[in-house]
Structures are given as structure tokens and as C-alpha cells.
Amino acid sequence: MTTSVTQEDLPLTGIRVVDVATVIAAPYCAGILGEFGADVLKVEHPMGGDICRKYGTPTQRGDTLAWLSEARNKKSVTIDLHRREGVEVFKKLIEKADVLCENFRPGTLEKWGLPWETLHEINPGLIMLRVTGYGQTGPYKDRPGFARIAHAVGGIAYLSGMPKGTPVTPGSTTLGDYLTGIYGCLGVLMALRYREQTGLGQYIDAALYESVFRCTDELAPAYAMFGQVRERHGPTHNDFACPYGHFPTKEEGKWVAIACATDKLFERLAEAMGRPELASSSLYGDQKTRLENRHDVNEIVRDWCGSLTRDELLKRCYATGAPAGPLNNIADIFGDRQFHARRNLVSVDVPDLGETVIVPGVIPRLSETPGRIKHLGPKLGEHTDAVLQELLGLNSDEIAELHKKRVI
Amino acid sequence: MTTENSETETPLPETAATADASPSADEHESEARLPMTGIRVLDLGTFLAGPHAASVLGEFGAEVLKIEHPIAGDPMRRFGTPTKRHDATLAWLSEARNRKSVTLDLRQAEGVQLFLKLVAKSDVLIENFRPGTMEEWGLGWEVLSEANPRLIFLRVSGYGQTGPYRRRSGFAHIAHAFGGLSYLAGFPGETPVVPGTVPLGDYFSSLYGAIGIMLALRQREKTGRGQIIDVGIYESVFRQLDEIAASYGLFGKVREREGSGSFVAVPHGHFRTQDDKWIAIACTTDKMFERLAEAMERPELASSALYGQQRKRLAARNEVNQIVIEWVGSLPRSEVLERCLRCEVPVGKLNSIADIFEDEHFQARGNLVTLEEPGLGEVVIPGVVPRLSLTPGRIHNLGPALGDATYEIMRELLDISPDDIKRLRQRKII
């Protein structure tokens, strides 16, 4: 744990979030809210729980590392929503909640007798984040969706890979989940603000493919106006700027990224290369000229990069302020001074595992109210009894009865 | 604070969203009821990392003033595909949506004074200069928070405001590399490619910044004081990488490029159809694979003796993928999709932008919003995300002309006389 702010100081202290969602997208929204003080109750099926517990690399405890990291700060409460009594307990939780995160296929909550109208009636201030592959409306709303599919449908998978080659995963298969969790979280926070002014809750209808598509800069307007269909970029992206891409260094497997978005940045690169004349107006000083001669310019940069070790090349670029950086793998990241200085890697003890697990720290970084990680992903049902007793006022006999019937 | 309809000098003619399913209908009626109404944001950033936060807040009612250099303006105006409007690429038109442009030269002392007056009347300031630049102009946090103790200050930079690399120039492209995403994009042992789109990290860092702003606004209501939000683009990229850190930390596992697949599940990737098109299939769970086997009319593949468990599929990755490659390759795309969808297999086309424009679901959800821009005709841009049921966001104008609101803001907000405005113009301070 990196910070020790008292809980009372955080922006979301006093906000209760019920996270009945699975895997990453909607739960990540709850995760961020929890880092900044919200009390997050993870409601899971008594048998097996959130499938995120099985997603990724298993630990000796059974739960995966992805679960430990992304279910940070949450309390696990098991309730079977397929059972009428489970639904009744859930409704009581909703009465006392501010935010509900869910990602069932459209119609599921309705089937359990928990449509928005009912939830809103139980708690008019409730804010609900609904995440699905395609959203709550439209012809594809009932199709199953994962981030992989959303990357494809939203247009970024098509752009990843060598020109005309097999399209590849755009770095990580879960990007669209995180992105949707973030947009959703922003929606929840805006809805909370609106509720404070009006008393009214609302729901946020988030679709994985939409968050992906929103991040495609001018892809849509360029097609609409000029009929231009953007193709796979390969290692370089020279639609707007050159040199702009990945270049191999002298060392096998070590690559650098260079991004000369403006003429001034190219000037600095030319200087780092010891060839300032390249940035003269008679040669490649203008972006337009560089784009017209992209093959020549890329070749010059590639030759230079190939003649140096990665460290030497980067040293020269940093000295002149040329925009360059290493293509880090995770081992590089663990050895990097900047990651350490910014505490981007946080070690958290997991007592029942007997291990320290390293997870990404809290983002964003607030100067007065930094977020915190109190603990990693809980064991299934770890907090069921405490929550039912303390929050909902059930007595131990009632709780025992529910356990016996496997409702919780 | 007013946000609407106070155009004076050189107004941009009214533009309106025409896509009927867009969430921007009745913008004027709902104006007073949006969550961010009454919040004024100064967007001093360039390009996208940081400014996209202002865009989303603007879509939900905030008044966004884009502060630009009087001559050059935001370099984003020149980044992307040029249009007949000399000061606007398509990227600018789309991503500078809902703003008013105010010119101000912060390298001149009088410009700094005017800026501080604006700060005093604003709620949020967004910047993305290299750390130290604002301080050089005499606009460090102490000065800003003295001008307005309630100010919330979002600072986005390649590496953040602290740490040994803070002064280095950073763009999303560099941040994707430094944050560990680019290393993972491409085929094992081959050239690492651009992961999706070049500015992904700009969007990520902006969105984290916007979340920070919302949290800080909430805290300000309790304490009356603003604070700083410090976002490094690289760390917003790194934050997306699920368990990569934990599994290196615990097991020393270095994740490598995965080609079109995934380390967690099989089959989970991109497959070529008979008509040379591509689809994505994502069998994240055993149940999904069972449905795929059914769609392939080979239910036995999902038996426990064969590939019923993820564990077995991961161990026999190549064999399983080969079976799927052959099946997908034997059918045209429409046929593969139809069979998969019938069995509820998670499947989708790898859409090009041309495919997206034809897609009925994009149309039904209003994801493509058309705005009329004088001199350019129709401009189609991505609609508002996220989608709020009671207070949907709206887009009322595309990226503004340079300085379109300078006069209005100087005159009405800062109460500067017309003569003084003229003088400031002559001296190129505004």
C-alpha cells in the first residue's frame, strides 16, 4: 500500500456500490470508485462466483492474478439471484446502494424481476451502469460480446497488423473492457453530480464496441468526406506524420518508438542523429515533404536506429528532446526508474496466499485525495455474513437459514 | 455562468446534429439540466491528451474555452486530413467539438494577467505542456490556486509531473511503447505493430483525467478547495494491462506478442473467411466453445475427452486453432457469422470504417452523428459516449474557428472595454 489517507478524506466516502457484474468492464468502474473511497460490495453467485476468478493465471488460492488485482478493495457477498429469496435480499441491498454495476445480457435482470423501473422505484436515487457488448438497444443487443469482438466491431482490430497481413490483437485482448469501465465510471460520476442537484438517479447504457469506436480520431469523418478507408498501419503510421513508428535497434528484439508529430520534433531528431541538415527546408524540414518521401525518411531513420544499441540511441534522443522511447516488455518495466519513482507498481500482501502480489497502482493521481488499495480481491463470500448482518440487519438464524438453502 | 447563445463577433453559424438517433436532440431545452451545467473549463492543452476530457465534460453541459496562441493555435488544427477550412483538419473538427476558441499569448506578461483573470472565473484548467512550462510562464500551482482556490487543475504529460523522465517529450505513440502495450502487438518474434490507433493513450489519459476532475469537484463541495490531477500517458496505458505485472512479479513470466490470439483462452482470435475477409471469435469460457463446436456441427470437439476444457485447449492451442482456421476458411463471412450467431457464439466482423458506415447497429444506436458545417457540408463524427438515460450529452458545434469567442469572453466575461480589446489585438496578445 502506498498511501495512508484516512477514509473520511476521500471523494467517494459514504458512497455504496453494488457490483453484480463479471469479468473486467463494469467491475473496473466499481474498482476505480472503490480506490477513491466508495464501499464496494461484489455480489456473486454462491457457486463459483465471478468468472474473473478463473480468468488468467491461477494462484494457489484458486483465484487468478487478474482477479486479485482487479477486485481490489471489494467485499464479496454471495447471493443467488436465480432464487426468489436471493432477489429479495438483493432488493434490500439496492435500497441502501448508490450505484449498481451490471453486465448481464439485456433482459436478464428483467427475467429476475429486477427491471430498471423496479430498481428505480425501490431507490429513486440509484445510478446503474449497464455494460454489454452492443448496448441495451439496437438489432445486435442480444448478441454475446467480449472486448475481442468489440475491438473487431469497433474498428481497431482491422487497423492492427502488417499491411494486408493477418490482423493482430491490438496489444491486449482486454483494452475495450478497461476503456468501457472508464467511460462508464465517468458516466456514473456525472450522474452522481446530477443526483445531488435533483435527487434523481438514472442508468448509463455502455456498449463495449462504442467505447472502442469513440477512440478512432478522424476515421469516421475521413471516410464520410473523402471515402478514405484506413488500412492496417504496420509498425509505422504515416498518414499524418513521418517518421512515426517502431524501429529496430542494433540489438535483437529491442525496438524503439519515434513520433515526430511536428517539424520541430523532427529537427530535434535530426540533431540527435548528428545530421541537422536533414531538417533543412531543402531536404525534409516540412511534414508535407517528409510524408511525400516517407520511404526515404523511414529508411534513413531505420539505418540510424539499426546502427546503435537501444540505450545509446535513446540517450541521444533524450539529449536533444527528440520524441523517442523503448518498446518495454514487462521485465523492462519492472527495472525502470520512472515506474518506480511514480509508484506504478504497488506490492500488496495477500495473507491467505502467503505472497506479496505486485499490481498497477491507482490512476488518476489526485494531489489532496489520492486513492488507495486496501486489499486485493477477496475470497468468495468472505463478507457475506458481515454485510447481511450489519447492513441489512438480518439475524444469525436468518443468515444460517439462507446458507442452508444455498441462497447465499 | 452562461454557456449558450452569447455569440457576438465572428460567430460560427449554428450547427445541429441531424442524426435522428443521436443523443443530442433538444439540446437547448435540456441545456439547463445537464450534469456539468455551470462548470467552466479552460482547455489549454494541445492535440488530444487532456483535451478529450474537456470534450466529454463539454458534451455534458460544461462551457469549454479552448485557449490558443493567437497566431499558431492548437497544432491539432493541422494534424490529420486537411479540409477546405484552412484552420481545421477533420481530427480538429471532431475532437474540438463544443468548444469556444479564445486566443491568448501566454508568453507575454499581459497575456498571463488576462489568463489569471479567466482562471479566477473558471472551475477546471486542463494543460499538457512539458512539466515546468507553466511554471516558466509564472503560472505554477501556487499562482493559479491563489487566483482561484477552488480551481481543479488537470495536468497530462507523457511521463507525469514527477520522476526522472518527467521532462521528456511524450506522445501516445511513445507512451504505448513505454507503457508496455506496443511490445505486445504483432506476431511472436516479428515486427511490433501500432496497437489499433495511434492516439489510444491520449483517450485513456484524458478519461482518467476526467474521472479525476469529477472526483475533485465532489471533494471541492466538501472542502471548498481544488487540487491537482497528475496523469502520465504511459501509466494510463500500463493500467490497462490486466495481470501482466502480477504474473511477472510472482512467476517471472514475460508476456510476448500474441499475434492475433490471446494467452488466456483458445480459440480467441482473428480468422480469415473463404471470401478473404476477417472475423473475430472469442471463446472465453468452455460454454462459448461448446456453442462454437455446435455451430461447426462438430459437438464432439467440446467433449471432455477432446477440447471441452480451456486447460486442454490452451495445451493444444495449435491444433484447436487449426480446426477453426479450416472451418472458417471454408465458408464465406456471412455464412460463418450466421451459423455462429445462431448458436450464440461470441463473433464479430473485423469492421473497416466502410463496414461500420453500413452497419445497422451503428445506425440504430446513433454512433455516427452528422453535423452541417458551413463551407464543408456534412461532417460525420462519433457520437457521445457514455450514454446517460436522463441527461444524454449533446454536440452543438464542431471544432471552432481560431479565436471565434475571443471578443465575447474578453468583453462579457472579463469586462474589458472594446478599445482595450482592440489594443490587445494589435499587440497580438489576444
The CATH number of the domain holding residue A349 is: 3.40.50.10540
Query: Which pLDDT score is estimated for B27?
Result: 44
* pLDDT tens sequence across A41-92: 999 999 989 999 999 999 999 999 999 999 999 999 999 999 999 999 999 9
Give the residue from chain A lying closest to B254, CA to CA.
A330
H-only helix segments in A170-309: 175-198, 208-214, 219-226, 263-272, 287-292, 294-306
A91 by DSSP, 3-state: which? helix
Of A340, A341, A333, A272, nearest in space to A307 by CA: A272
When mean pLDDT is compared across A215-229, B26-40, B188-202, B296-310, the lowest value belongs to B26-40
Residues A136, A59 share a domain: yes
| Residue B33: pLDDT over 90 | no
For residues A43 and A141, membership in a common domain is answered with yes
Task: For domain B27-239+383-426, say whether CATH 3.40.50.80 is its number.
Answer: no
- Specify whether A20 is located in the same domain as A145: yes
Helix (H) / strand (E) containing A331: helix A330-334
Between the alpha carbon of residue A29 and those of residues A134, A179, A187, A381, the distances in Å are 18, 10, 10, 21
Q: Residue A71 belongs to what domain range?
A: 12-214+342-404
Give the pLDDT confidence of B240-277 residue by residue, as tens digits: 999 999 999 999 999 999 999 988 899 999 999 999 99
Claim to verify: residue A62 and residue A107 sit in the same structural domain: yes
Closest CA to B42 of B162, B108, B128: B128
DSSP per-residue letters across A106-153: TTHHHHTT--HHHHHHH-TT-EEEEEESS-SSSTTTTS---HHHHHHH
Q: Does A171 touch chain B (CB under 8 A)?
A: yes
Shared-domain flag, residues A205 and A183: yes
Go through A342-365 and write b for each residue having 16 or more CB atoms within 10 A of its CB, e for each that does not. bbbbbebebeebebebbbbbbbbb
pLDDT of residue B32: 67
Please report whether residue A138 resides in a domain.
yes
Using a CB cutoff of 8 Å and minimum separation of 24, what contacts does A261-265 make?
A: A261/A323, A261/B47, A261/B75, A261/B79, A261/B171, A262/A287, A262/B75, A263/A287, A265/A322, A265/A323, A265/B169
In terms of CA atoms, which chain B residue is nearest residue A169? B260
Q: What is the pLDDT of residue B197?
A: 87
Residues of chain A found within 8 Å of residue B235, distances taken between Cβ atoms: 342, 344, 360-361, 363
> Count of CB atoms within 10 A of residue B13's CB?
10
- List the catalytic residues of B: 202
Distance of CA A335 to the CA centre of its chain: 23
Partner residue facing B361 (CB), from A140, A197, A325: A140
A300 and A203: one domain?
no
The 8 Å CB, 24+ separation contacts for A114-120 are A114/A81, A114/A87, A114/A90, A116/A203, A119/A94, A120/A201
Distant-in-sequence, close-in-space partners of A388: CB < 8 Å, separation ≥ 6: A77, A89, A394, A398, A399, A402, A408
For residues A251 and A194, state if they share a domain: no
Specify the domain boundaries for CATH 3.40.50.10540 within chain B: 27-239+383-426
- Chain B contact for A38 (CB, 8 A cutoff): no
- Here the cell at position A347 is 506490492
List of chain B residues whose C-beta atoms are within 8 Å of the C-beta of residue A168:
185-187, 193, 257-260, 270
Same domain, A292 and A394: no
Q: Report chain A residues whose CB lies below 8 A from the CB of B149.
A: none
- Domain match, A319 and A196 both: no
3-state DSSP helix/strand/coil % of chain A, to nearest 5:
40, 15, 45
Q: Are both A149 and A44 inside the same structural domain?
A: yes
User: Is the CB of B350 less than 8 angstroms away from the CB of A245?
Assistant: no
Is residue A346 located within the same domain as residue A307? no
What's A288's domain CATH number? Answer: 3.30.1540.10
Residues of chain A contacting residue B279, judged by C-beta atoms under 8 Å apart: 152
Q: How many domains does chain A have?
A: 2
Task: State the ipTM, two decimals.
Answer: 0.94
Out of A278, A302, A334, a domain closes at A334
Is position A352 annotated as part of the catalytic site? no
pLDDT over 60 (residue B12):
no
- CB of A374 within 8 Å of a chain B CB? The answer is no
Is there a contact between B193 and A223 if contact means CB atoms under 8 Å apart?
Answer: no
The minimal CB distance from A159 to the residues B93, B196, B279 is found for: B196
Assigned superfamily of B268-272+278-349: formyl-coa transferase, domain 3 (3.30.1540.10)
Say how many CB pairs under 8 Å bridge A and B.
516
Q: Tell me the residue type at B229.
A: I
Chain A residues near residue B377 by CB distance under 8 angstroms = 225
Residue A3 resides in a domain:
no
Interface test with chain A among B130, B165, B242, B384, by most A beta carbons within 10 Å: B242
pLDDT value at residue B170: 83
Q: Residues in chain A with pLDDT < 70?
A: 1-8
Same domain, A327 and A264: yes
Which residue does chain A place closest to B202, by CA atoms?
A: A215
A264 within some domain: yes
The one catalytic residue among A39, A63, A177, A205: A177
What's the mean pLDDT when you consider all of chain B?
A: 91
The boundaries of every CATH 3.30.1540.10 domain in chain B are: 268-272+278-349
